[in-house]
Amino acid sequence: MPSLPGVGFRFAGVGAHLPEKVIANDDLSDSMDTTDEWIRERTGIGARHVGGMTSELAIEAGRQALERSGLAPADIQQVILATTSPDFMCPGTAPAVAHGLGLDCGAFDVQAACSGWVYGLVVANGFLLQGMDNLLVIGAESLDRITDYTARDTGILFGNGAGAAVIQRDDSDAGRILGWDLGADGDYVHILYSEHDGVLTMDGKEVFRQAVTAIQRTTTASLEMAGLTVDDIDLVIPHQANVRIVEAAWKRLGFSMDKTAMILEHTGNTSAATIPMALADSLYKERITEGSKVLFLGFGAGMTWSSVIVDYAGSLTGTAAW
């Protein structure tokens, strides 16, 4: 496993955005045989938001992050957009997002499903090592375009949203990535996928099992690289798929839910957008302060998985999108 040569960085600005229209659990009982109680108990989800194109949601989250960073559009040197629900098959959505934000820089999509934003963070760190100063890493999804809201397995889970962070080089070395791990296993494509112009099809039980295994594997690898233990981590920001997946993995790893950022109840599963939105929420709630060791943890279709441990620098204020 390669280690990452050190480069100091900070989150200079964050943003989170959800479209206005909400589908509450009770609304779903009109289109399928389900109840609010069942969905909450089995997933932890209370509502999901729908509407908006991926680019529109990404632009709003990106605009907030840029504004909070105090930087000018000309300062951003790269846009990395993690999404599994792009506006078009071709081209990627990132160029439209960069254009909408008035940026003049490179822009590309990362398609690693729910692991995508953490993949993007590692890629951004690589750009910092190559001499860049400011990048915008966004996770945005319009999953309502590939979700059948009459299906009892997938229809209860997915929603739209976007989260963004400005990643800024900081040579004071106060903040940095301490450990990371990215992984994929294409043998599991069939457990969660959407055909072109199709809807998400899922083997829920197998996704659940594989997600718990992936979380254990990637967390252990990142902790090992960082030379840290579970006790050293101040906050975990996991992908928000199903609270029971997180609880099952935590039982094996020894993490506590007290140290875990969860926004799932308000958002549902927004794939690549969940982690940056939960980051914005954690900063808003002052759960992250200077020197906090934060574990970002992605897992999802592919299968893919990703984790990054960050030594946090800065005194940023986040935002709540709901």
Q: Which are the catalytic amino acids? A: 114, 239, 269
* Residue 216 CB, nearest approach to ligand ACO (Å): 14
Residue in this structure with the two tokens 């006790």, named with its chain if needed:
231
Pairing of strands 235-238, 293-300: parallel
Closer to ligand ACO at the Cβ: 42 or 145?
A: 42
Non-local (6+) Cβ contacts of 173 within 8 A are: 6, 8
User: Measured from the CB of residue 33, what is the shortest distance to ligand ACO in angstroms?
Assistant: 6
Least distance (Å) between residue 184 CB and ligand ACO = 13
Residue nearest to ligand ACO (CB): 204
Rounded-to-integer distance, Cα 145 and Cα 53, Å: 9
CB of 304 to ligand ACO, least distance (A): 9
- Residue 38 or 322 with smaller CB distance to ligand ACO: 38
The answer to whether 215 and 253 are in contact (CB under 8 A) is yes
- Looking at the Cβ atoms of 43 and 134, the one nearer to ligand ACO is 43
Query: Residue 42 or residue 99: which is nearer to ligand ACO going by CB?
Result: 42
Closest to ligand ACO by CB, 241 or 280: 241
DSSP states of 134-202: EEEEEEEEEGGGG--TT-TTTTTTB-EEEEEEEEEE-TT-SSEEEEEEEEE-GGGGGGEE--TT---EE
User: To the nearest whole angstrom, how small is the minimum distance from the Cβ of residue 195 to ligand ACO?
Assistant: 17
Q: The tokens of 57 are what?
A: 């949601």
Contact of 199 with 151, CB cutoff 8 Å: yes
Query: Contact residues for ligand ACO (CB under 6 A)?
Result: 34, 38, 42-43, 114, 152-153, 156-157, 192, 202, 204-205, 207-208, 211, 239, 241-242, 245, 269, 299-301
